[in-house]
Structure 1
Amino acid sequence: MPTRQRRRLLLSAVTLTAIGLTTTQALAAPTAPPTAQTWQVRHQADVGKQHAQKVRGATASTAFSPKADAGAGDGGDEAENSAEGTAQYTEARTAPGVVAPGAYGAAWAQLRSTPRTDGNWTHVTDKPYNSDDPRYRDVNSNSSGGAGLVTGRITGIAADNDGYVYAGGANGGVFRSRTGGGHWEPIADKLPSLSTGTLDLDEGGRLWYATGESNTGATSYVGTGVYVLGDPKHGQFKPADRVGGPELESTIIHALRFGGGRAWAATSRGVWSHSTTDLSGPWTLEFAPNPEYLPGGSKAADPSAPYKNIANDIAIDPKDPSKVILAIGWRGGDSYNGFYGKAAEGSWQRVSSLGDLPTDAANVGNVTFARSADGSRYYAIDQSPDVMAHNPDTGLKGVYVSKSGSPSGPWTLIADKDKLKGSGSALQDPGYQPGIQAWYNQSLQVDPANPDHVYAGLEEVFETTDGGAKWATVGPYWNNGFPCWSIDPAKQTGDCSQTTHSDQHAVAFGAYQGKANVYVGNDGGIYRRPSAGQLDAWGHGKDWTPLNDGTIDTLQYYSVGVGKDPADRSGKGVIVSGGLQDNGESILRAHDKVMGSNFGGDGGDTLVNPANGCDIAEEYVYLDLWVTQNCATNDGSWTKDPSKATSYEVAPPDKDTNAARFIAPITSDPKDADTWVAGGQHVWVQHKGYAIRSGSEWTSAYDLGAGHVATAVATVNGTVYAGWCGPCNNQGFSRGIAVGRTDGTGWHQLNLPVEGTLPNRYISSFAVDEKDAQHVFVAFNGFSRTWTEGPGAGIGHVFETRDGGATWADVSANLPDVPATSVKILPNGALALGTDLAAFYRAPGTTDWRVLGRNLPTTSVQQLKLGPDGRLYAATFGRGIWSIDPRNLNEDNDNQD
């Protein structure tokens, strides 16, 4: 979605004339594709530094670091934020080493045998989420951008001609619609992984679900293999539906392709295949360019191992399924990148020539193939590491067609960055043009009824109806910046047609009630338009329908905050807010039937005043903190009078030096709601609460040290605990805990040797006893040394101190070995813990843990917060926000099922 920085700069001009448009221009019929405003970008110096790293990284170790290629040469926030957020989410779970396959499968087995409490979780965010909500047209909202109803990232779509549509969330599992989209029901919640790599319907109508989201490229934990549902119209996935054995556990699966009676999987550990008739037996490893880096290989513990065998897609000749082309390579570049085919003797060899489609290692990165139903065409998108390293505007090499229908070509270039830019794209700025995130955004599909009708997804949605001679940007990035843009609440999305959310990941064709449709999946969910869609005067699709009706909740929350709703007459209603990946900050008031978005861009950590839920502090990223005291309610009046803006930037100074985590921690003192602590390189403190109006009102209580950044902060009665890392990835990872006072006195680093009681892993959360600030619990992310090949990985996930950190005891007891994310002391002295698989509960006076309640989907619980209503709220990274009443819970000895 559009970054907040762009929104602020665009909207700082309060009239059309001020942003370079006269009234005449705004009302005139367009004669050329509209151009976006020239938006400045954040972190230009940092982007330049990363760009230099990329140029060097083609042959250096930086090429294998997600951080090294984060935003390299992109000139803008969006690519940087996507890469950096992904990298940091990953490294929190993998550092200090590489996670071996089977870690999540083992944790799932432990979970299934763990007793649970009674009590049921309630789904809080099971309502439509309107990103264009006219109530919140403040300076920082996404409102009027044109994406409409949104949900979390959709990374797989399959559809048939009977109105059945299947959508897979990035970490939310599979949803089914029987009505051509909408009225969704989850059908994969019993599986150990809800992370979607891709979805495919085979010729027999079976639904194949490949787990392990394919957008991260370096993570080793998100998938548990491939599952097949024989009757997708009526059935639900079960663990027993897995194809083969554990061979594809802990992999990312980029694509599934079918031919010659076999299913082919392009994964982060090479290309594998399996019979489509006999689903038992192991998967066969067809090709891995660097097998010594695979698990069990001589170099498996090398920090670059996760990047050494990445396969992106497979093209199978429709006339001869024995002829297969593999697209292999890490998006940041490596000598093994290229296309591979089988030689006569059966070995895989690099393909030297395919026509216009480049075959050299420098120009083959992330690749997506698509074949026409009649076998007459093959299409491909190619992201180039070399272009990404040297062109500040794009990472796209091009879109290509093989008119022979053979993946061996010859291939012809049919679109590049400039051709797509001229097709009505909103991305016209230097440093942010079509394909700038081609390493992250790719989807491609051919209309089964017309081999020349193609949909290509990058940041935007592009369509050609003549095989690539002409293109139209049918789903532009967003409406803001176009001459038709308007924030008039009565116009919802302005004078433009509704568009899709940005950042495309999946596309499929299907039909409902005899009408053919196309479906696209992106960072905002799933959208539909007729296959024979219409264009508006700007050349954009004017018939998009968002299918994110609230019954599909794949929202990826980093945080949650809860406060009393001042407008609720009963005094019992609450406001629930939360920060989201690429979908801003959601706000749900006590009697809302539709959630609104009152802050845009990415939403990070969140503070909400328990006594007044309209007092909200919301982090964008990197400690860019904003505050409102009226829920950021605004009808757009600030466009004429800037003094009527209702949110204020109050970022601590670390935001300006980029000395903070992508999602940086903020907290308030439960004994003094006006005392806040925020963590970057420094531990920042302010005492004005929600009345703060400037970043200059923060003071530095402590400097954690150059290269160190806070990962967790907590405070009670003036005592502060700050966990940090630096370096934070698996190459030289280190961590520590600093303790001191909010007035800047008494600060010291705890003695935490690499080998010791506390693991050398990522510190994710503290819980400080409100009655005794020397009594603290700390939670650790990542896996134990059983699975993590790195120094000091240790064991345990929750530790307790009663002397301010001088000594610690492991209180993990029977917890599954799975990353822990959030620990909370409940009013009765019980403990609640969020992890990557479930929430857990430890009753007062006991040592063993129980699974907390029922109904909570198997997905990552990122943050736990207590609400003023006494309920415990869980922000999940893939299935929205849930709540449970933790009072008077009793043990229920039933297991997971």
Structure 2
Amino acid sequence: MLPQRHRRFITCTVAAAALGLVGAQSFAAADGARPAPWPARHQADIGRQHIEAVHAGRSPSAASEDDGSDEAENSAEATAQYTEARTAPGVVAPGAYGAAWDQLQSMRHTPGDWNHVTQKTYDSDDPRYRDINSNSSGGSGKVTGRITGVAADDHGYVYAGGANGGVFRSKTGGGHWQPIADALPSLSTGTLALDGSQRLWYATGEANTGATSFVGTGVYVLADPRHGQFRPGGRVGGAELESTVIHALRFAGTTVWAATSRGVWSHSTTRLAGPWKLEFAPNPEYLPGGSKASDPSAPYKNIANDIAVDPKDPAKVLLAVGWRGGDTYNGLYARQADGGWKPVSGLGDLPTNSDDVGNLTFAAAFDGSRLYAVDQSPAQTATNPDSGLKGVYVSRSGSPFGPWTRIADYSRLRASGSALQGAGYMPGIQSWYNEFLQVDPTDAGHVYLGLEEVFETKDGGTSWSTPGPYWNFGFPCWSIDPAKQTGDCSPTTHADQHAVAVGSYRGKAYAYVGNDGGIYRRPLNGTLDAGGHANDWQSLNDGTLDTLQYYSVGVGKDLTNGGVSVTGGLQDNGQSILRGHDRVMGSDFGGDGGDTITDPANGCDIAEEYVYLDMWVTQDCGVNDGSWTKDPSRATEYEVAPPDKDLGGDGARFIAPLASDAKDTGTWVAGGRHVWVQTKGFAIRSGAEWKSAFDLGAGHVATAVAASGGTVYAAWCGPCNNQGFARGIAVGNADGTGWHQLDLPVDGTVPNRYLSGFEVDPADAQHVYVAVNGFSRKWTEGPGAGVGHLFESRDGGAHWTDISAGLPDIPANSVKLLPGGGLALATDLAVFYRPAHSRTWRVLGGELPTTAVLQLKRGPDGDLYAATHGRGIWSFGPRRLSG
């Protein structure tokens, strides 16, 4: 029997996800504050069950009968948890991130530069790692991190915006990318757009419903995008759009419209100075400065998704407004003669009621003859386990006011060649997260639609095809055994679509799509294979575009090739592995990758988390010789999940903490509701070999763990959201003795915020550091928010001292002791360094982009490795530092 595990792309933790510059207004409302309830989250991973069924020769549809999984809820929970760390115990006021970035600019740097480790091609189909635990042979090929903005011109220039990686430019129709936004305070991409003058507009703040997306610092314009670089001085207007996410920019005459998380705004395109004008906010009392601005649900109350302007009369504007989870203000709004805005109805098939207007996207024909829309229904998302997609619509008059006709729903799209047939969910299951629309500039009936997959119609919606299926697993052309492959499975894109554009290179028009795996292109009028799927996709992820979103990093000696092997868990891109002297990274585990343990003495000994403590271990780097195709019991990868895995979110966080003992790599600690310990190291073969050292208590889940010489520290939260947020630290021995909860009063020294990382002095287990996430009391309205981001104890946690004076007030994620006693601290902004016996912090090195660093690890080569959530893995040689 095959292991009950397969990674799939659809748990798109936007982050969760995503991350972002949660420097101001957060999208992590408390569970009780969400405008609409989510259905109960199920444990079954239907994507995993589906592919396992294919491997085992069963009917794919039968795999979904065990448990009707709600894929969208899985992703929603992941996004909420990511942001909880940065916002609880309260709402974060606007300006927090900007203030931290301003302070960063005045700080000195240490000598030395960071080295970009993962600036190499990452092949998700690498045949070295083709087995039941990877996505290899799925068809998405070379990948990178989530791309949320795409723009292209008719001269071969293409622009791609990473979720938290900034903007990259290609002069060759895609490939050979160059970063052009690294001087900006925000690298979080909401959208990219070229205006009629071919200026490039960059709206910051990823808009995939926010929860794990970083907010931005406004909109920037680059007058000469083919040669220039974005600069802070190129910002449009003032600070009005700071700390928002921006869903769309739409141009009409000399006006640009912006749909943001704080309503709809407009600005002149000819005079870029002067403030943005707030056109419409449905609930202004929830805006910053309003009477309800501190309400936990405030971030959800003024979300605008898109704007449609009548091409025949620019004074006629239709706004699509509403939180994807549903609220009474959701709907379509039209501007009135007196300048006000009112809900509209009676537009034909296009929904206008609050229950069915959620994440909605418009796309207009170039000649104005048609207008298209795709809509996610909050009511359907909450009640329909198949899909949240309400439909795809067209206004054949070109007017936003219709009449509108529905031209597709999820059932029709499923029948067009979707890879999701029989998978237990259907197209649009994550339409609150995956949506794009693009009309062919030369043909008003030719439309590209992005959901989890890429769909296409060439006749205005009468018929549909699926040129970009989810993956090739399950198609007749595919077999897990390479010897049985028929060879006619065409390459496809990565799943989870976010951005689209049309451009030309050397006189040929292309469609460019951005998704959770990067950016791909195909001829605009491409061809299909016998299965109805495109046979002409090309990945543009050549390694120069590194927007990979790591949660973790692990480093060990490469005993075969020399040097070191570097691995790490990624948002929706599995576990990457880069062995010594490799020119291409491979993926030995698929789906989402979480925390990682690697043996420093042998980089092929790897323990890797999927989600919720679902752990797997390999002792051969995940390489298989093919014997498993004949005898699955001979597999060399083993599921070793602690029992908390079976409780899902009730037993562990989506990305749960793992660590090995600093003095004994054979002793591991894993944190869920319980603190789990196992002492067999990489020889573990079953989850039953874990022992519960301590129960953190009902409703409590671990946020960080560390161990040294048998002494274990475990930080926890519970509740973890804004409603009654609580945190604590438990300390005890790996053998289960001596456990106790530390006294951490809400008004004590250690803030009542998310505790994100420990470092234990290898010379003295009573000497410990804890990194604190979130923003300090100045910005956070919540009980016990406190001040500071790094605390030190020399008596096992009985007393703590704040040692973060001089640091920017920014969420801290990981702390590491360096040789000589110096400290490195990873934050959402940079890595900082303080020498031993000093109280002065500096920025560690140069060349590291301004993006979130989630984890620091020391390598056996002596280097410090940083896992960033947006720009890959970097290393720094601390040998030039004094202490």
| Alignment TM class, shorter chain as reference | over 0.9
Matched, 1:745 2:737: yes
**Match of residue 718, structure 1, among 697, 710, 723:** 710
**1:260 alignment partner in structure 2:** 253
Matched, 1:882 2:874: yes
**2:778 alignment partner in structure 1:** 786
Task: Give the 3 Å change call, closer, same or farther, for CA 304–12 of structure 1 in structure 2.
Answer: closer
Q: Structure 1: which amino acid aligns with 2:273?
A: S
Task: Give the 3 Å change call, closer, same or farther, for CA 182–855 of structure 1 in structure 2.
Answer: same
**1:667 alignment partner in structure 2:** 659
Shift of 1:487: 2.8
**1:777 alignment partner in structure 2:** 769
Matched, 1:736 2:728: yes
Shift of 1:261: 1.1
Task: Give the 3 Å change call, closer, same or farther, for CA 385–10 of structure 1 in structure 2.
Answer: closer
Task: Give the 3 Å change call, closer, same or farther, for CA 492–233 of structure 1 in structure 2.
Answer: farther
Q: Structure 2: which amino acid aligns with 1:541?
A: A
3-state SS of 1:80 partner: helix
1:489-544 Cα deviation digits (max 9, x unpaired): 47989531111000000111000000000000000000000011000111111100
Q: Structure 2: which amino acid aligns with 1:86?
A: T
Shift of 1:429: 3.0
Bigger shift: residues 635-644 or 738-747: 635-644
Q: Identity across aligned pairs (percent)?
A: 74
2:9–2:573 Cα contact (<8 Å) kept: no
1:698-739 Cα deviation digits (max 9, x unpaired): 000000011100000000011111110111111211111111
Task: Give the 3 Å change call, closer, same or farther, for CA 104–482 of structure 1 in structure 2.
Answer: same
Q: How does 1:465-864 map to 2 (within 5 A)?
A: 465-489=458-482, 495-568=488-561, 571=562, 573-658=563-648, 659-864=651-856
In the alignment, structure 1 segments of 5+ residues that lack a partner are: 21-35, 45-74, 892-897
1:293–1:300 Cα contact (<8 Å) kept: yes
1:197–1:211 Cα contact (<8 Å) kept: yes
Q: Structure 2: which amino acid aligns with 1:657?
A: L
Whole-angstrom distance in 2 between the partners of 1:742 and 1:367? 51
**1:404 alignment partner in structure 2:** 397
Shift of 1:639: 2.1
**1:49 alignment partner in structure 2:** none
Q: Structure 1: which amino acid aligns with 2:823?
A: L
Shift of 1:640: 2.0
3-state SS of 1:381 partner: strand
**Match of residue 19, structure 1, among 38, 58, 64:** 58
3-state SS of 2:355 partner: helix
**1:226 alignment partner in structure 2:** 219
Q: Structure 1: which amino acid aligns with 2:58?
A: I
Bigger shift: residues 777-786 or 552-561: 777-786
2:552–2:570 Cα contact (<8 Å) kept: yes
Bigger shift: residues 723-732 or 525-534: 723-732
**1:39 alignment partner in structure 2:** 63
3-state SS of 1:807 partner: coil
**1:137 alignment partner in structure 2:** 130
Task: Give the 3 Å change call, closer, same or farther, for CA 890–261 of structure 1 in structure 2.
Answer: farther
1:47-99 Cα deviation digits (max 9, x unpaired): xxxxxxxxxxxxxxxxxxxxxxxxxxxx4364333222211111111111111
Q: How does 1:411-430 map to 2 (within 5 A)?
A: 411-429=404-422
Shift of 1:644: 2.8
Q: How does 1:165-184 map to 2 (within 5 A)?
A: 165-184=158-177
Count of aligned residue pairs for this structure pair: 841
1:820–1:833 Cα contact (<8 Å) kept: yes
Q: Structure 2: which amino acid aligns with 1:574?
A: V
Whole-angstrom distance in 2 between the partners of 1:256 and 1:85? 28
Shift of 1:553: 0.3
Matched, 1:87 2:87: no
Whole-angstrom distance in 1 between the partners of 2:408 and 2:708? 58
1:486–1:494 Cα contact (<8 Å) kept: no
Task: Give the 3 Å change call, closer, same or farther, for CA 219–583 of structure 1 in structure 2.
Answer: closer
Q: How does 1:74-223 map to 2 (within 5 A)?
A: 75-76=68-69, 78-218=71-211, 221-223=214-216
Task: Give the 3 Å change call, closer, same or farther, for CA 190–237 of structure 1 in structure 2.
Answer: same
Shift of 1:260: 3.1
3-state SS of 2:878 partner: coil
**1:312 alignment partner in structure 2:** 305
2:387–2:410 Cα contact (<8 Å) kept: yes
1:766–1:822 Cα contact (<8 Å) kept: yes
Whole-angstrom distance in 2 between the partners of 1:475 and 1:3? 15
1:87–1:216 Cα contact (<8 Å) kept: no
Whole-angstrom distance in 2 between the partners of 1:493 and 1:684? 45
1:328–1:340 Cα contact (<8 Å) kept: yes
Shift of 1:646: 1.7
1:137–1:635 Cα contact (<8 Å) kept: no
Q: Structure 2: which amino acid aligns with 1:626?
A: W
Shift of 1:216: 3.3
Shift of 1:19: 3.2
1:726–1:735 Cα contact (<8 Å) kept: yes
Q: Structure 1: which amino acid aligns with 2:654?
A: F
1:712–1:763 Cα contact (<8 Å) kept: yes
Task: Give the 3 Å change call, closer, same or farther, for CA 303–12 of structure 1 in structure 2.
Answer: closer
Shift of 1:566: 1.2
Shift of 1:221: 4.9
1:103–1:221 Cα contact (<8 Å) kept: no
Whole-angstrom distance in 1 between the partners of 2:626 and 2:831? 40
Whole-angstrom distance in 1 between the partners of 2:488 and 2:607? 32
Bigger shift: residues 210-219 or 232-241: 210-219
Whole-angstrom distance in 2 between the partners of 1:37 and 1:856? 47
1:268–1:310 Cα contact (<8 Å) kept: yes
1:167-201 Cα deviation digits (max 9, x unpaired): 00000000000000011000001111100000000
**1:71 alignment partner in structure 2:** none
1:570-612 Cα deviation digits (max 9, x unpaired): x5x0000000000000000001111000001100000000000
**1:25 alignment partner in structure 2:** none
Task: Give the 3 Å change call, closer, same or farther, for CA 13–301 of structure 1 in structure 2.
Answer: closer
Whole-angstrom distance in 1 between the partners of 2:680 and 2:727? 31
Whole-angstrom distance in 2 between the partners of 1:271 and 1:243? 15
Whole-angstrom distance in 1 between the partners of 2:351 and 2:687? 49
1:489–1:635 Cα contact (<8 Å) kept: no
**1:362 alignment partner in structure 2:** 355
Shift of 1:482: 1.4
Shift of 1:219: 6.0
Whole-angstrom distance in 2 between the partners of 1:494 and 1:643? 27
1:3–1:77 Cα contact (<8 Å) kept: no
Q: Structure 2: which amino acid aligns with 1:650?
A: V
3-state SS of 1:362 partner: coil
Whole-angstrom distance in 2 between the partners of 1:494 and 1:80? 36
1:247–1:282 Cα contact (<8 Å) kept: yes
Q: How does 1:452-467 map to 2 (within 5 A)?
A: 452-467=445-460
C-alpha RMSD of matched pairs (Å): 1.6
Q: How does 1:324-343 map to 2 (within 5 A)?
A: 324-343=317-336
Whole-angstrom distance in 1 between the partners of 2:49 and 2:812? 38
TM-score by length of 2: 0.93
3-state SS of 1:767 partner: strand
Shift of 1:352: 1.7
2:830–2:843 Cα contact (<8 Å) kept: yes
1:121–1:856 Cα contact (<8 Å) kept: yes
**2:271 alignment partner in structure 1:** 278
Task: Give the 3 Å change call, closer, same or farther, for CA 726–165 of structure 1 in structure 2.
Answer: same
3-state SS of 2:143 partner: coil
In the alignment, structure 2 segments of 5+ residues that lack a partner are: 1-7, 12-44
2:659–2:669 Cα contact (<8 Å) kept: yes
1:553-577 Cα deviation digits (max 9, x unpaired): 0000000000000102xx5x00000
Whole-angstrom distance in 1 between the partners of 2:246 and 2:224? 23
